[in-house]
Structure formats: C-alpha cells, structure tokens
Structure 1
Amino acid sequence: MLKKLFQSFRYPLRYTQHIQGTPKVLNSDQHSLERAKFSRYAVNIIERLQNAGYQAYLVGGCVRDMLLNITPKDFDVATSATPEQIRNEFRNARIIGRRFKLVHIHFGREIIEVATFRAHHPQNYEAANTNQSSRNESGRILRDNVYGTLEEDAQRRDFTINALYYDPVSNHILDYDNGIHDIRNNLICLIGDPMQRYQEDPVRMLRAVRFAAKLNFGIEKHTAAPIHNLAPMLREIPSARLFEEVLKMFLSGYAANTFKILVDLQLFDPLFRASAEALKYNPIYTHTLISEALIRTDLRIKQNKSVTPAFLFAALLWPALLMRALRLQERGMLPKLAMQEAAHKLIIEQCQHITIPKRFTMLIREIWNIQERMLYRSGKRADLLLNNPRFRASYDFLLLRESAGEQTGGLGEWWTNYQNANDSQRRNMIHNLDSKRDRVGDDLKKRCSNNTKRRHSSINAAGAASE
C-alpha cells in the first residue's frame, strides 16, 4: 500500500513556483474528449461567454473524469468574466459564497457552477486588491477572491490533474503543468510548493487522499512528504467544513480505501482523535470494525441504496466508546451508566473537531442504546423493538459488531430468525427464552441454597468443635 501511495517515478522534484506561461495544447487527435459527452448547458454557457468576448473553459474534475472514462457528477466552467459580468449575461444566474465567490446558473434541476479565474495569493498576507485575499498567521487563506488570468488560475489550482482546461468550441485541451502525464501515470501531484499549498488550505491534504482513493492513484512523494508534520493544522479548519469533507471522503463509494490512506498518512488522528486512540489500544478489533463498516457502506452506494452519516459515525466512534466505557467501569461505574456517560462525552468531544448535526447525533445515540435493548426480549419487548424505526440500522450495527469479532451469544442470529418468523414461531422463541431464563434462575437459586447450607453446616461444625 505505502509503496503505491508514495510514488516518485523518474523525476526528482515535481513542484515549481510558477507554471509555464505557454500551455501544452492538445488537439482533437491527441485526446479522447468529445464535446457531445459534456453537459449541453455547460457548453452553451461557454459559447455565450466566448461570444461576449470572455475566455471560458470546462475545467477540473469533469475534464479529468472524462479522460478516465468516469461519468462526472457535475460540470464546472472557468472564465475571465467576473461574477457580476456573468450574472449580467444570464438571467438564471445567482452569485453565491463570500470566502470564494461563485456563480450558479440554473437550468431546471441542473446547476452549472461558473468561477472567475483566480490569481495566486500574495505572500505578505495583505489584500492584493479591493477583492481582498487574506491569510491568518499560519498562512491559511481566509478569503479567496483575487481575480487573475488563465495562467494564474492554472497556477493556483491544487493538483495537476485538476488544472486541465477544455474548450468544447475548438475541441482543444490546455495543459499547464503535465496534468495529462499524471493522469496517464495514475499520479496525484500538487502544483507549487507542497508545504506552502497545504498551509494555504490544510484541507488539500484530505483532497489528496480523496482523489487517491477515488481514482486508485498514488500520491507523488513530494506531495505526501509534508503531510505528517502538517496534519495537526486540520484542527484549525472550521468543524462544519470538516464534516462536509468527511462526508465527501466516506460517502462517495471509496470509503474503505480512504480509511487506509488516512491511517497511513496519520490524518485519521486529527479527524477522529478518540477513535485513533482506540486504534492504538485495540488495533485488530478497531481496524476490523471500521473497515467492515466502510466496505458495507461502499457496497450500498454501488447498489444505489440509501446510506446515513449517522451509521457511519456510529461505527467510526464505537471502538472508542467501548474503550471509554471500560475505563469508567474499572473506576467502579455500573456498565449501563458507563456506556451512557461515555457516549455523552464522546459525542461532545467529537463535535468539537467535526460538527455532526443534531439530527445525526440523536440517531447515533439511538443506534448505540438499542444495542443493549436487544438483549431484553421477553414479553412484548421484542415486538416493540422490532417496530422501532431505528431497529433496522441498529440490527445492521449488531451484525457489524459480530463480524468484527464481538461475542454476543448468538444475538444477531436470534434477531435474524425472529424477523423471518411468523407470529406462532415468534411466541415460541420468546417462550424458549423465558424457559431458559427460568432454568438459569432456578440453577442460580439452587446454587445459592446449596452454598447457604454449606455455610450453615460449616458454622455448626465449627460450633460443635469449640464445645
């Protein structure tokens, strides 16, 4: 894994401070892109902007994915027109964002995102112009609205594979920094000095992981080198933004591979500190449970089944919950109270790093609570629990725990059979449980009675001997 992850190929240092001013131009016979395969709305926007005297291109992920025969999820346009000029050209346009102004042009349910060419950011942390680009003391960019030329826009993009500009009118691709080469060699490579680019926006470390996992690419060694030292910078990122980035990484169908890369690059710790601690405390169980949960999530996505972030976070945090609860029990707290206390504090702590909306934290707690309730099935409890709207997720979570090696005494099999049984069979299953419980209770009472008799006999014998 690591050998593939950190590829260097035959060239030494890939990054340069300035992209060449003249791009490589690939004609139609040098690439596989076809205008007809792109969104007709995006192509129409480009034609109208060019006819109005502006430069305009399809750029980023849609160009990269089309070259890899992957169907893009969206089509982004980059142009020399400012947001206000774009809005003047399209009645159905809306300017959004403050940190990074964009224009959304609506065509029914389809939205085409149009961005103005950006320039690189000044190093003196002062505003470059009236649009204001500002940084904090660590170099992180706080506002990103410095407009520039096409060449400057290519320079400030994050990875070479995302800096390809396609003109559907001329059917040419503009490649400013060997992006085509890196696509052909399955390589993730930052544009510019990796240390500086990560300091500008630490989330780029997570984007490198996401693209590597999605495309099954390696990360160029100089792109990967600073990540270990700069990983703590992720704690400076707003927790709400990290929540969105985590969803992109884990709910795109490549979660299992993403988890492996995050752990290898030591990026899992700043995102899930308690879970990273559990990974050290009980590595085999923790890694198995989380990996299995992510594999199942990937499978559901590939099958077009619904997935919820709550189940994902419940699995990511479960090993940490068990570890915390065990420590509380060792201090004398009852098991049930220990689980409740550990769950409460763990969710609060996790939300300080990644803001998990309340609608999801409530569901996480329910999934965890039902794990214990599944033990109690006598009377009408089993049927009441079966009708609980959270039962299915909780049942799947129980099976997940068992697949990771947790011993539940066959609880998962019992609930599987109970769901498939008819009313008569269910009554028999509950009756058998009650009978078994009664036998266990009778055995316990008998043992206690025998122990009491033995104690009394010992006491009597001791009394007789003393006389």
Structure 2
Amino acid sequence: MLKKLFKSLRSPLRRAKHSHSTPEVLSNRQHPIHRGDISRHAIGVVERLQSAGYQAYLVGGCVRDLLLDLDPKDFDVATSATPEQVRAEFRNARVIGRRFKLVHVHFGREIIEVATFRANHPQDEDDDPRAARHESGRILRDNVYGSLEDDAQRRDFTINALYYDPGNERILDYAHGVHDIRNHLIRLIGDPTQRYQEDPVRMLRAVRFAAKLDFDIEKHSAAPIYKLAPMLGEIPAARLFDEVLKLFLAGYAVYTYELLVDYGLFGQLFPASAAALKHNPDYTDTLIHNALANTDLRIQQGKPVTPAFLFAALLWPALPARVLKLQERGMPPIPAMQEAAHELISEQCQRIAVPKRFTLPIREIWDMQERLPRRSGKRADLLLENPRFRAGYDFLLLRESAGEQTDGLGDWWTVYQDASDSERRSMIRDLSGKDDGPAAPRKRKRSGGRRKRGADAGTTKPGND
C-alpha cells in the first residue's frame, strides 16, 4: 500500500547528510494526507498562529501516522512562537513543564500540544557543556529555542522530523523520513551513539516504534543499543514507569518484549525477571509471553487492562525461589510469600517507580496464589468473596498455561464458581480433608523445546481485570 501511496512522488528521494537544512518539500499531490483526516482543532491552532505572524506546523507522530494510513493518537504543533506568545493567542491555553515549557490548548477533552522550535544546547568555547549535559553525554537541560531547521535536527528519529502545513497541504521533510517510512526503517537523526547518550530513553523509543509500526531498526541505529543499555540506570525511576506503560499497554506488548530481550534492554528494566529468564528460560519466557499476548488481545477488544496484573506477571518468575529460601529458614508459607513479595517489589521500585496503587494489588494477587489451594471448611467461600479473587484466579490460570503443576487447582476453581451450594459442599468433601500446600514453589513441567510465542503460546487465556 505504501508503494502505491508514494508512487506519485515526482522527484526521487535522495540520501543526504542529516545536517543538511534544506527540506524535501512534498506538495499535496505527492502524499496521501488530506485536511479532512486531521482534527479541526489542530488545524485551527496552526492557522491562528500563522495568521498572528508565526511559523506553525503539525509535526511528528501525527504526520507519520497519517502517511501510514493510521489514526493519530493526538496532534502536536511546532511553532516559532514562545510559550507566552502562544498563551496570549488562546484563552483556553495552559503553559506546562519544567525541563522545557509546552502549551496545552484545551478543546473539551481534546488537547493540542504546542511546542516552540528547539535547538540542541550549544557546546562551543563560550559555553560550559557541564551546565547542560552529564559527563556521560546525557542532556540535563534542553531549553534552548531555535529555528525550524534546528528543531528538525534535534528530533530523535527521521520519521518524526516531518512537518505538515494544513494551509498549503505541504510536507517539509528535513531528514528523509518519508524515505524511511517507505522502507519501514527506524533511523536516528545524527550519530546514534551520541543521540542515545544524550537521552538513553531513545533506545526504548526505538523499540516501541519498531514494535508499533512493524518496522526494523536501521542497522547503524541498532548497533550501539546492547552496549549502551546500562545507561538506562541513569534515568529517573518515575520516568521509566511511564515508558514501560507505553511499551506494554499499547497493543503490541509481545513483540516489544522480544525486542527488549534481543537488545539487552529487558534486564535493565526488570533485573530480577531477567535473571529468572536466564535460570529458567522456558517457564519464564512462556509465562511472560502468555500474559503479554492476553494483554494485547484485551486492548484489541477494547477491554480494560490494569498495570498491576501486568507487573505481577512480569515479576512473578523471580518470586518462587525467594519464597523457598525463606521457607527453608523456617518461615511459614504465607508469611514467606509476603516477605519475598515485599523484597522483590522494593527492589523493582528502585529501577521502575511503580506507584503504591499498583504495588498493593500486585502483592494481593501473589498472596492469593498461596491461599487458593487452601479450600477446606469455609475457606473456599470466603476466598470467592475476596475482591481480589478474580485477579488471583486469572493469575493461577496464567501460571498453569506456562506449565506449572497445580494438581488441577485451576479446573477445580473454574467448576466451583458455577456450582450450586450442594455441589460445592460435595466438592469440599471430596477433598477428603486434604489441605493443599503452598502454591508458589510447586514443581513445573519442563518442555523439550521453546514454546510457541505470542497469542498461541497457551490455550488458557487469563484475564487481567
């Protein structure tokens, strides 16, 4: 389809140095974007700024997605106007941000984000580069205004350095992003090592765009990632939490996970889980794949997804060994589970700042794995009434789908939920007073080879309500 869309280009796109400031200009006959595909509020913001004498364009992801015949999630505007000048033009505008000021122009629920053209921080002899960069090369301050050309060159990927003017319906392409879109490539603008050092999160963004668009990361842009992956340790844990949600809650989590593992990034985000993946690869990989495949399916179906269930699944493979160690020291099963969970989550939060509103449900889901085998007397009915029962039950099915042996516990609970009172009493009697032991450290089936990845990895599809 892309071949057909771009066949109309009159002049062939040439490769050029990214520092070249003359853009490739595509007229409305050379690209498939139409004004009708664009938010009228976004067009209104651009035209109002232009009528006030400023340069203004739709920029970045919205232009890229429109070229790919995708629905943009939002519309961003880049302009020569300063934040204060933008706010003066719109009564419904609000200046936000500390590292770099942006303007949000509100139209009911829709927000059009407006950013002033930026430039890379100068590093000539008159400037102290330490004022803007860490010794590793990471940018600490990024608050220098610049020209349109400057703004294009400081953007991360070529496919995001595209500017669309709805007035004349032209696209300005400063880094041959249209070429890379046509060839399904994620390419950094400038020297990849330097750009990753400026902001290591760009490595995660490269993976995210590759997974979302089903593009390849261009070989020169991919080459430094494995070596530079440890630089993610310098990124604030709160920012990494936001990035992880973008990675795994956008509908392509399985492919994202595979790319993170391949490029050595998964271990920087989830060190304990990466260790479990190395120690017990078949089980860990299958459980995580099944959880992520189900997450992708729920998103495609428009069903809710909670980060608590996702993080519970990503971290679970690292938990059982810790529980066993505590039990070997004489700690009872449930306290051992609780203590191990506390330690693991605390360690993980040093790397990714998972908010308390999610860490508490994670612990409750895990705690339920220790309680579900204990069904005698009134325990089963009490567990059914527990608000975390459904999540705990779904998590049990997830564990079973990855090969854990639970002596049919998942099937038992599946039947019990729909049974009549008399059938439930009979099921409890059939347990013969047997009270199952701890669930977490149970033996697991080992398959001879690597399980099939993705949504077909298991027949059970646990939810993550």
Question: What TM-score does the superposition give when structure 1 sets the normalisation length?
Answer: 0.87
Q: Is the 8 A contact 1:126 1:134 kept in 2?
A: no
Task: Return the alpha-carbon distance in structure 2 between the equivalents of residues 37 and 364 of structure 1.
Answer: 41
Once residues 330 and 221 of structure 1 are traced to their aligned partners in structure 2, the CA distance between those partners, rounded to angstroms, is 49
- The equivalent residue for 1:350 is 348
- Aligned equivalents of 1:137 and 1:126: distance in 2? 18
Q: Report the alpha carbon displacement of residue 121 of structure 1 after superposing the two structures with TM.
A: 2.1
Q: Which has the larger radius of gyration?
A: 1
Structure 1 residues 410 and 335, CA, compared in 2 at 3 Å: closer, same or farther? same
The AA in structure 2 aligned to 1:111 is I
Task: Give the structure 2 partner of residue 317 of structure 1.
Answer: 315
Amino acid at match of 2:67: L
Q: Distance in 2 between matches of 1:125 and 1:219?
A: 35
Cross-structure match for 2:171: 173
Question: What are the within-5 Å matches in structure 2 for residues 39-78 of structure 1?
Answer: 39-78=39-78
User: Are 1:382 and 2:368 counterparts?
Assistant: no
Query: How many pairs are equivalent?
Result: 423
- What amino acid sits opposite 2:22 in the alignment? T
* Residues 254 and 292 in structure 2, CA contact (< 8 A), matched pair in contact too: yes
Distance (Å, rounded) in 2 between the aligned partners of 1:265 and 1:84: 42
Query: Are residues 392 and 35 of structure 1, via their aligned partners in 2, closer, same or farther at CA, if it must alter by over 3 Å?
Result: same
**Which is helix-richer, 1 or 2?**
1
* CA displacement at 1:225 relative to structure 2: 0.8
One-letter code aligned to 1:289: L
Moved more, 331-340 or 279-288: 331-340
Q: Distance in 1 between matches of 2:327 and 2:239?
A: 35
Q: Greater CA deviation, 421-430 or 253-262?
A: 421-430
Cα deviation, 1:296-347, whole Å, max 9, x if unaligned, reads 0000111111111110110000000113223444556554443332211111
What SS is found at the alignment partner of 2:105?
Answer: strand
**2:377 alignment partner AA:** G
8 Å contact 1:15–1:194 — kept in the other structure? Answer: no
Deviation per residue, 1:93-149 (Å, 9 max, x gap): 1000011211000001111000010012223698699xx972222111122111100
1:205 aligns with 2:203: yes
Confirm whether residue 101 of structure 1 aligns to residue 94 of structure 2. no
Following the alignment from structure 1 to structure 2, what is the Cα–Cα distance between the partners of residues 17 and 274? 42
Residues in 2 aligned to 1:374 and 1:146: alpha-carbon distance in whole angstroms: 57
CA contact (8 A) 2:15 2:176 kept: no
Per the alignment, in what secondary structure is the counterpart of residue 377 of structure 1? coil
How many percent of aligned residue pairs carry the same amino acid? 72
Q: Aligned partners of 1:44, 1:30: CA distance in 2, in Å?
A: 24
Secondary structure at the residue paired with 1:141? coil
CA distance in structure 1 between the partners assigned to 2:146 and 2:128 by the alignment? 11
Describe the shift of the 1:435–1:271 C-alpha distance in structure 2 as closer, same or farther (beyond 3 A): closer
Contact kept, 8 Å, 2:273 with 2:318, in 1: the verdict is yes
Equivalent positions of 1:251-262 (< 5 A) are 251-262=249-260
User: In structure 1, how many angstroms separate the alpha carbons of the residues matched to 2:88 and 2:314?
Assistant: 47
Is the contact made by 1:163 and 1:176 (CA closer than 8 Å) also made in structure 2? yes
Residues of 2 paired with 1:361 and 1:125: CA distance?
A: 48
Residue 103 of structure 1 aligns to a residue in which SS? Answer: strand
Give 1:460's aligned residue.
Answer: none
Aligned to 2:19: 19
TM-score by length of 2: 0.87
Structure 1 residues 134 and 435: alpha-carbon distance in aligned structure 2, compared to 1, 3 A threshold: closer
Q: Which residue in 2 is equivalent to 1:149?
A: 147
Secondary structure in structure 1 of the residue aligned to 2:132? strand
| SS of aligned partner of 2:368 | helix
CA distance in 2, matches of 1:160, 1:246: 23
Correspondent of 1:219 among 210, 217, 235: 217
Gaps of 5+ in 2: 1-13, 437-465
The structural deviation recorded for 1:357 is: 0.5
CA shift for structure 1 position 20: 1.6
Change in 2 beyond 3 A, CA 1:124/1:332: farther
Match of 2:275, SS state, is helix
Deviation at 1:231, TM superposition (A): 0.6
